[in-house]
Amino acid sequence: MGVLSYARRGVAVFFEYDTPRIVHIRSKKVGVINRIIQFLIVAYIVGYVIIYSKGYQKFGGIDSAVTTKVKGTIYTNVSGLDPLYNNRIWDVGDYIQPAQENGAFFVMTNVIITPNQTQGECAEDPAIMPCDTADNCTAGEQTPNGNGVMTGECVSYPPEPTLRSCEIHAWCPVELDELPLEEALLKNSSVFTVLLKNSVEFPQFGIKRRNILNTMDSEFLHKCRYDPNNATAKLCPVFELGVLASSAGQDYAKMAIKGGVMEIVITWDCNFDRDVHECISAIQLLPSRRPNDELAKGYNFRYAHYYYTGDVQTRVLYKAYGIRFMISVTGQAGKFNIIPLATNIGAGLALLGIATICCDVVVLYLLNKRDFYYEKKYLTVKDQDAFLLGEEDNGPPDAGSTR
Ligand SMILES: Nc1ncnc2c1ncn2[C@@H]1O[C@H](COP(=O)(O)OP(=O)(O)OP(=O)(O)O)[C@@H](O)[C@H]1O
């Protein structure tokens, strides 16, 4: 075919127009296929999109605020325990650090206390800067793990005089990084309770809800304890820390030794087509620590309390190990609205066109009588202009030839 011929065909295509034609096919096979596909599409739209996924509702998110209050006390009385930790009451002011946080709280479960530190020169921990002679200690230098800056001297280490370490300018005496017990000092904190107060607002619907219901009073809050397996106790906003840990599949006593992080997820999934009072929160607990991580496992940090002895500034250094509970709030609510319903019905009607496409494929390409159906479906009509353009099958113009 020459270039001229291609050009003529291109011009002919430009001057063509396709218009749909209704071909009414009476065939059991095609009819059944058509109805099955239509049924599946209608079932998907009505059953899944509109009813299951609530396609008749408008959805909106939440704004949330959470506060917490922990209660509980422990008395430590263990024979052989350093007097610094023994015969001592530990209450909220001791083990909650800091006193208030946004969407989180930290409960100290183990601690290393280094009292009476003052600024001066003393021997570094031999595990950090051991030395044989002063040549091993460079004046003015520090190491990232160290407690101070070297003076350039090598001295004996008072807690174990056989050991020698570099002398440092530091808060002295330096911390001895050893936990007081093999188990967690405050492992009984598993019975401590935390009250979670969560207020949420659904701005799209102008509705506010709290996890503390109006039906609850102070007596209920004092007595109730959250229990995921009990219908009433499931609504209680007071949680035992041990139960929180076990709900997340964690052993509290083990986790208390080196600390850890846990996530409390409060979920609000509400349907405002029902009674607003049925809109209540659900709690889910996730451990953020993977149980088999040995390196750098746990959670701890240091803080200090400062005071003056005479004119000398003195401090107590705490290395606090504990569990940090992080609270996140998620959720959404839905309410009937005509716009999403109309949009989903419209999308469903458009989807019904798929039935036609599928049946066309069956009729025109798969059935034995496909040539017959093809002939009935496509009709080529030429008018006077097309004839004048000189197409290849140059017959005279007609009113209805088929191909
Ligand atoms: N962790 C908790 N465990 C059990 N009950 C708690 C806890 N935290 C608070 N409550 C109780 O819940 C109620 C509401 O607490 P909220 O902090 O609003 O009031 P409060 O009177 O200041 O509490 P309190 O003085 O007892 O700390 C109070 O009756 C309080 O005793």
Q: What is the per-residue pLDDT across 37-52, written as a single tens digit (0 to 9) for each?
A: 899 999 999 999 999 9
Residue 209 CA, ligand 1 centroid: distance in Å: 19
Q: Quick one: which of 380, 270, 373 has its CA closest to 331? A: 270
d(CA 264, CA 325): 7
Query: 8 is written with which tokens?
Result: 């003529």
Please give the average per-residue pLDDT across 168-185, as a whole number. 92
Q: What percentage of residues in the chain have a pLDDT greater than 70? A: 92
Amino acid found at 72: G
Q: Mean pLDDT across the stretch 232-253? A: 89
Give the pLDDT confidence score for residue 139 in this predicted structure. Answer: 92
Q: What is the distance between the alpha carbons of residues 86 and 288, in angstroms, rounded to a whole number?
A: 32
Atom in ligand 1 nearest the alpha carbon of residue 197: 18
Q: pTM of the entire structure?
A: 0.78
Which token pair is 208?
A: 């506010």
Of 376, 388, 260, 397, nearest to 24 (Cα)? Answer: 376
Tokens of 211: 């996890």
Establish whether residue 123 lines the binding site of ligand 1, counting it when its CB lies within 6 angstroms of any ligand atom.
no
CA distance 242 to 324: 13
Q: How confident is the model at residue 150 (pLDDT cuts 50, 70, 90)?
A: very high
Residue nearest atom 12 in ligand 1 by C-alpha distance: 221
Under DSSP, the state recorded for 136 is G
Q: Whole-angstrom Cα distance, residue 119 to residue 123?
A: 13
Q: Which stretch of DSSP H or E encloses residue 388?
A: helix 384-389
Distance CA 285, CA 244 (A): 7
- E strand or H helix at 240, and its extent? strand 238-240
**In ligand 1, which atom is closest to the CA atom of 70?**
1
The phi and psi torsions of 128 (rounded to 5 degrees) equal -100, -50
pLDDT at 385: 60
Residues comprising the chain, all counted: 403
For tokens 């088929």, what's the residue?
402
Ligand 1 centroid – CA 217 distance (Å): 11
**Which element (helix H / strand E) includes 282?**
strand 281-287
| pLDDT attached to residue 8 | 80
Quote the pLDDT of residue 290. 54
* pLDDT tens digits, one per residue of 92-122: 999 998 988 888 999 999 999 999 999 999 9
This model of the complex carries an ipTM of: 0.95
Ligand 1: which residue has its CA nearest to atom 1? 194
Q: What is the mean pLDDT of residues 225-253?
A: 88
